[in-house]
Structure 1
Amino acid sequence: MHPFQRCSDQLVAGGCIRPSVLIQALRLYEPHWRCGLNGVIPVLSGLVLEPLAWLQAALYARRLAQIQPPNDPVVVIGHWRSGTTYLHQLLASDPAAATARNAFTVAPQVALLLKPLIVGFLNRVMSVHRPIDAVPWSALDPQEDELGLVRLTLDTNMAGVAFPRCYPRCFRRYVLASTAAFKRELARFTKLTWLHDGAGKTHLVIKNSAHTARVPLLLQLYPNARFVLLKRDPIASIRSLVQVKQRLGGLMGFQAVPDQVQQVEETVAAHAELMAAFEASRAQIPPGQLVEVAYTDLMASPITTVERIYRDLGIAGWQQARSSIQARVAQAVNYRPSPVQLNPAAEQRLQELIAQQPPHS
């Protein structure tokens, strides 16, 4: 990878971390000195932007206190690598939909203040494809809110990506559990998202696989939240996520990346815990506020699938949204995903662990 492209990918994936968040992370976990270069972009970019973060906080304090984003956001959930990104792209292409975008999540603490500058800068420096796969991206493409939240709080799944040898600990601490402080930060982040992208829009779309375990928290904040649960063969999504974690750990990790066998074991366990957390909270979702979508259906019939989501969740404006969503589907016609292949030992371990799980897992 060219050094400039690597720096660009580091900036978008994990740059502009607020200094207080980074200091907390370094105190809690154990960075390895050999991974020190991965910290240059997060440290420098965060320090440069911190005075502007305080300025944005002061300028927008009143608006943040007054603004009320929709209390019925459409929340895309499901295990990572289950089609959540593709569905997010389609839903966010509706001109009436607001969502978090790369130009926001890269630095939410200054994204309102510097919006035109960030969009122009990212369009010049971003790589054509995401560093984790072959998916095209740009400054205004939708992005999951976990990547923006990690700039503001350590209480996210991304902590385990930055410190890959602590992944199980971070997953249980920040995904399976949450705090009152995180609840406040999530509510504030959603307000920032609406201020950034909500002008003239009628509904909010959120995509975050970690929210699969946070359904009770989301319903506390947004009682009318509407959920779309993506479901894919566990072997396929786990295999793909292990590859993604290997790549992200090498790009932005503060610790050496564990071998594939260890990451398979950790990811299989986390998958089971994530889905168990969702099933434990499923009954809390009111009738009419959950749609389940099979990955195979989304890939085979994206327009039909999205139309069903609009109908079943009562999202207004399908006739107006259809042409924009069809155009986004057309963009993906020639998309060819990156090959996903684990080493033989890791693949064997994955097959063994999945075979041990109950058939309904």
Structure 2
Amino acid sequence: MPDATPNKPNKHGYGVDPVHHYGWITPRFWHGMTPGDFWRMVFANRCKVSVRGALTCSTITGVGLFHLGAKLVTDLTMGRKLRLARPSQPPLFVLGHWRSGTTMLHELLIRDPRHVFPTTFECFAPHHFLLTETAITPFISWLLPKKRPMDNVAAGFDRPQEDEFALCSLGLPTPYRSWAFPDHGPVCGDWLTLDNVSDADRKRWGEALRRFVGALSLKRPGRVILKSPPHTARIKTILEHFPDARFVHISRDPLKLFPSTVRLWKSLCDVQTLQPQRAHYDWIEEEVFGNLTRMYEAYDRDRPLIPEGRVVEMRYEDLVADPLSTLRDLYANLDLGAFADAEPGVAAYLAEEKDYKTNRFELPEEVRERINDRWSGYAKRWGYV
């Protein structure tokens, strides 16, 4: 896939895009939360919202009331099924740092007709999508932009989404809450690895994910493919609830990861904030540095817990260079079935995306030195030095 025109350096050491604008009525991630969960988050941030943020809060509350009603109906009509629901095949978790190629790998894997993935609507409405998705999505598709603001990947309620947003909608803390009140800095850091949360909270997190995967399995049969970068640091908890799970990890050159991840987080702060855009984002660079370190300390510690034959590690550069061969090896090593059944869909997707351009960044030497110093362990671990 060819690269785009590079972002030019600035005083921060790499290109920073203009403020990203979402429409006033475009849903934010917080529109999936029930009013109680949402307002607890707002009060924890001392209700410091902008005028536009206050209007967004009102629409989130209205939509949240609908979530409550639809959840009640779902629990009354399908509660027992949901409690007992289990995936027909072990789920496959796509792991890797933000901007490492997890989206591309996820998109390729879901081209297999035997695979199931959570849609954006299902992550916005995990409480009740089994009853409402088919009826509602045709009427609200216009609310979302056609492209994601940070990388121009296609967006829509029927498009694949990170299950981290489903967990957020279910009221579970996540580092992603930092984007709602970026002026206050990062929050919920313990929920990246789940290491320092209580046993009760870890169980609550795992049960919420299990129920969501079970609901997906009730809607569509097949192997559930989940992609969420924070899961890279949660292998132990995932295995407690999905002992037969499969994993695929993807790595990428850290000199590409850092500027792209900073851009991602700033873009999401722009569009998801309930405060004025471009508040105080000075914390993001340090958060990006620290998150990778914490993520891979947990990954390297817990990876030995994965039974042999249930994890594959690949490099983004190899996937881009030869996606069909890389996926063919993945299928064989994880016993995912015949790749021949998936190949037509994968090939069609690759043909559609052949002109997609990735972002490029020109990094001054000072920034390169910081990345090489702070992320030297990652670079050595995955063969980038």
TM-score surpassing 0.5? yes
Write the letter of the residue equivalent to 1:305.
Answer: T
1:157 is matched with which residue? 175
1:275-331 deviations in whole A, cap 9, x for unaligned? 111111111111111111101111222222111111111101321111011111111
1:83 CA displacement: 0.6
SS class of match (2:291): helix
Cα distance in 1, alignment partners of residues 169 and 42 from structure 2:
14
Cα pair 1:150 1:156 within 8 Å, conserved:
yes
Write the letter of the residue equivalent to 2:344.
Answer: S
Higher RCO (C-alpha under 8 Å, 6+ residues apart): 2
Cα distance change of structure 1 residues 292 and 122 upon mapping to structure 2, 3 Å threshold? farther
1:29 is matched with which residue? 45
1:302 corresponds, among 323, 331, 353, to 323
1:212 is matched with which residue? 232
1:171 is matched with which residue? 189
Given the alignment of the two structures, is residue 359 of structure 1 paired with residue 382 of structure 2, yes or no? no
Cα pair 2:260 2:359 within 8 Å, conserved:
no
Given the alignment of the two structures, is residue 190 of structure 1 paired with residue 213 of structure 2, yes or no? yes
1:82-136 deviations in whole A, cap 9, x for unaligned? 1101111111111110111123112122211112123313433332211232111
Alignment of structure 1 residues 246-325 onto 2, 5 Å: 246-255=266-275, 257=278, 259=280, 261-325=282-346
Name stretches of at least 5 consecutive residues in structure 1 with no aligned partner: none
1:90 is matched with which residue? 108
2:357 is matched with which residue? 336
SS class of match (2:340): helix
Equivalent residue pairs, number: 352
Cα distance change of structure 1 residues 350 and 161 upon mapping to structure 2, 3 Å threshold? farther
Cα distance change of structure 1 residues 67 and 236 upon mapping to structure 2, 3 Å threshold? same
Cα distance in 2, alignment partners of residues 140 and 290 from structure 1:
28
Write the letter of the residue equivalent to 2:45.
Answer: Y
Cα distance change of structure 1 residues 122 and 93 upon mapping to structure 2, 3 Å threshold? farther
Cα distance in 2, alignment partners of residues 67 and 173 from structure 1:
26
Higher-helix-fraction structure? 1
Cα distance in 2, alignment partners of residues 350 and 24 from structure 1:
38
**Cα RMSD after superposing both structures:** 2.5
Cα distance in 2, alignment partners of residues 99 and 227 from structure 1:
15
2:30 is matched with which residue? 14
Cα pair 1:84 1:207 within 8 Å, conserved:
yes
Cα distance change of structure 1 residues 9 and 194 upon mapping to structure 2, 3 Å threshold? farther
1:41 CA displacement: 3.7
SS class of match (1:360): helix
Cα distance in 2, alignment partners of residues 166 and 308 from structure 1:
45
Cα distance in 2, alignment partners of residues 237 and 121 from structure 1:
37
SS class of match (1:228): strand
Name stretches of at least 5 consecutive residues in structure 2 with no aligned partner: 1-17, 379-385
SS class of match (1:75): strand
Write the letter of the residue equivalent to 2:228.
Answer: N
1:360 CA displacement: 2.7
1:7 CA displacement: 4.1
Cα pair 1:146 1:157 within 8 Å, conserved:
no
TM-score (norm 1): 0.89
TM-score (norm 2): 0.83
